[in-house]
Amino acid sequence: MNDKNPDNVAKEHQMENPVLLCAYVGHFLVRRVTVAMRTGWSMCVRYRLRPLIWCLLCAASLSVGCASPTSRLKHYASEQGFARGLLDTGDYDLLVFDNQAGLAQVQKSGKLRFNRSSRYPIGKTSQSSRLHVYLEGDGLPWRYRTVIMPDPTPRSPLMLTLMAIDPHRSIYLGRPCYNGTSEEPPCNPSLWTSGRYSETVVQSMAAAIRVLVDRFNADELWLFGHSGGGTLAMLLAPQLSQVSRVVTIAGNLDTDAWTDHHNYTRLYNSANPARLPPLPESIEQWHLLGGRDSVIPPSLVHHAIKRQPAAHAFMLPGFSHGCCWGRIWPSVINALEANDRNRVPGRPFKLDIYSTSDQESQ
């Protein structure tokens, strides 16, 4: 999500966009070269070339950062030893990463096109009847509220880093038209803007998860979602009979409250979990909230959580929308395994009585 648009409001990440950063560096270099050409060489060496050389070195160091978001995503996944595949859901190809390289073993289905494999990472379990599914946030659909980005893929894929910590069989599932597929038909910008949580998106991802459940022989699903990925987790859960848990991190659980809070246009082609029937009581929900989250302040999702029959919320006072969830992820996974909410870092979020002072007091 951006600090000036409805999809990335975290100010601390404003300058993490490598494309813009490289553009700024390039603009600075052009100005330096132009001035150098107009200046005597003696003055140029002393006052112009020295900073120009330093700037060139800086630009070289940024060359990796200037890669596309999809390239960076794949590079990080490769470093972690993840397997990568494309899942054909009919109209859309969804990028899939597997933290145990098991995709190589399940490519019997023509729907799953396997690209690469690697050895099982050290410390990972090789057998499990439960499958963890990680759902990323919205990325960068808009720039400055008016410019639709051609590739909405997240610049900082938090859920991929959290999956690297998870010792259990886990899948990172991309969205339709994300991760380098935005120009492939029938993709159109509505699928990552106003319709990012549309029936088309939800059903495509549900179809992909069903294929993975079948090929991995999974009889239980835990869905993990950050930000807009939390929205999708809530929308996907009733579509999949194997779901027993939903865990959201700074989840956008009421999209109308979110757009109204930031004075954005409502997502008129998307479903809003807060306006749908609550999830079944058989699906336990854990919602992790950042006390310093200015993108989705806890007050926005209070009522959405309270109306759910088996929901528990936890406040992390020093955490923002993007920081610092990796620090506590091992503890969260252990608490889930032990089914012990007392092990979750942070404090239980007050759902019975809530006021604007709750966020400060916790």
SS3 label, residue 340: coil
| Whether the predicted pLDDT of 140 surpasses 90 | no
pLDDT digits (tens, 9 = 90+) for 273-324: 999 999 999 999 999 999 999 999 999 999 999 999 999 999 999 999 999 9
β-bridge partners, 56: none
pLDDT digits (tens, 9 = 90+) for 152-194: 888 889 999 999 999 999 999 999 999 988 889 999 999 999 9
Q: What pLDDT is attached to residue 128?
A: 53
Radius of gyration of the chain (CA): 22
Q: What pLDDT is attached to residue 145?
A: 73
Q: Which two tokens stand for residue 231?
A: 């929205």
* pTM exceeds 0.85: no
Query: How big is the chain, counted in residues?
Result: 362
Q: Which two tokens stand for residue 168?
A: 């259990």
Stretch 255-260: mean pLDDT = 97
| Whether the predicted pLDDT of 236 surpasses 90 | yes
Q: What pLDDT is attached to residue 258?
A: 97
| Alpha-carbon gap, residue 221 to 257, rounded angstroms | 29
CB 163 within 8 A of CB 99: yes
